[in-house]
Structure 1
């Protein structure tokens, strides 16, 4: 109620009521002064107060009516500004306002329209920069692959090869001691088993670096379905997917969206303890909408800034903003987590 009383419309009404009050005081002072100084026969005290009372009633009614009517146009135009700014905040930079009047408010509207044009061009620039960054990343990836292969070769030689060589030597020593000293042979075979297990662990760790984590040329929907199928084999989570297969995105945008969703699902698997995950991707009005929800344990978004998930959330937010989009997360302890992402797609 107090918020409504502070609106533009009630400000207009208050200003008219204030004018009526000042006019009433001036008229009353003027008539009383004439009555006291000159005492004319046609002017009586009853007549003065009857006139003032009538004026107050009419003034109140007119103030309410005129204030309400005169503020209507201004309120409507300000509402247009509010809607436009909300559209800009949601990433819809194509919205515009137009006024027939040639005044200060119309000039502000033109300036907001120009701001929308600049923001829309900025989004295109960001997406172009993302494409250029992707091309550069591909070149860097080739060099990184060569370097990684060399590193893996060194690691294989320094760790797994040496361990396998040690296993061979210990196995041969155990065979020689098998008949002469079974106790020592048993101890050496236990060392062989331990070394073999260590070598197996090292090999799994090295193979993990070779696992692909990108679309590899697949469309976004197909890549995500493959990712979800792989996650189903490793967890008991029930995934609910809702994809619009007709969505066409630039290669860089698809790669970013895939990595955002991949990071989100990784966080859910590691931290959420969820039994159900929903993933919906739709497109309308030149915008891509992504909604990810889980029924896990949730967390306090404001207080849990030091959680292990905070780095992943920061990465997702940065990737969304690189594409000119917005990233919103809502989470309540015991009620799950919800992520909404809006990305312009021209």
Structure 2
């Protein structure tokens, strides 16, 4: 039977800084030196064994510190801590001063092992320290401090490490939040820049269409009327014909400018095709597009206004309505064109919707419709979905 692959063990949660590591190393070696020095200066019966045990603990500790795998792998750290614990137990057997090493061991176990195993190792280490102290009492009275000291030391170590981990996680969350805010600000600036560019393109397209193109069309009509009113052999006919040709060329150039300034969504097809692509690409609810009536070629400002209103209304459905279905309907009638955006979402009270961004962009949609002489309406109530409708009167050339 094949063994189940194990997921890689996570790295320790609390990366100790270089200064704290140096302090921990200094504490371990200092306590070992103190234990060995006391055994020699006090002429303890087993002073040689104490010095040897201290040397073994120091060697095992130094080997683990110099081994990169101990800091990367919890398994390697567990093996090293087991060896270090065995050497420390030997020191504890020959000298009660080995009890001092228990406190730095607590921090090592909590730092290198997973929290559950780290706390278990701290409990075992505290019990071993208490047992060693009691064994060296030689039947004498044992004070409560022999029990409270290792237990309180372990509790302090656990509380310190847990507090550090909580602070570290909070710091990481703040760092991620700051990075997300910076990225969002950059995206917002780019979106505002793009929106400004598109708005300026739309404004220029409207201005060219409503002023220059219309003026050239009027000039051409006047020249045609003048041409018809003159006799066939009038010398001015040649100049009128040239003027008509120049007006026609400039009108075509103006229309090319308008097409070049058209939003990208309208560059490669009609308004109906752009709306159909908008519905297909919408995330969240299922959006259907319906076309009613015989499609006509609309002036660019009309197409831009209807497309922008549809985009804004559908964005509201996706972000706020929590709807399952939505429908966009474009209806061509004899003298008008109507756009309806309907959803089955939570709905809202239009009379209480605030202006600006909090009003879901309704003022901007209304302004677009009214600029072209249209009518903008919103029908909704809480729990009953929403319907947005805009009706634009068709210009004479588009209604024919």
With the length of structure 2 as denominator, give the TM-score of the two structures: 0.36
TM-score calculated relative to the size of structure 1: 0.41
- Greater RCO between the two (CA within 8 Å, min separation 6)? 1
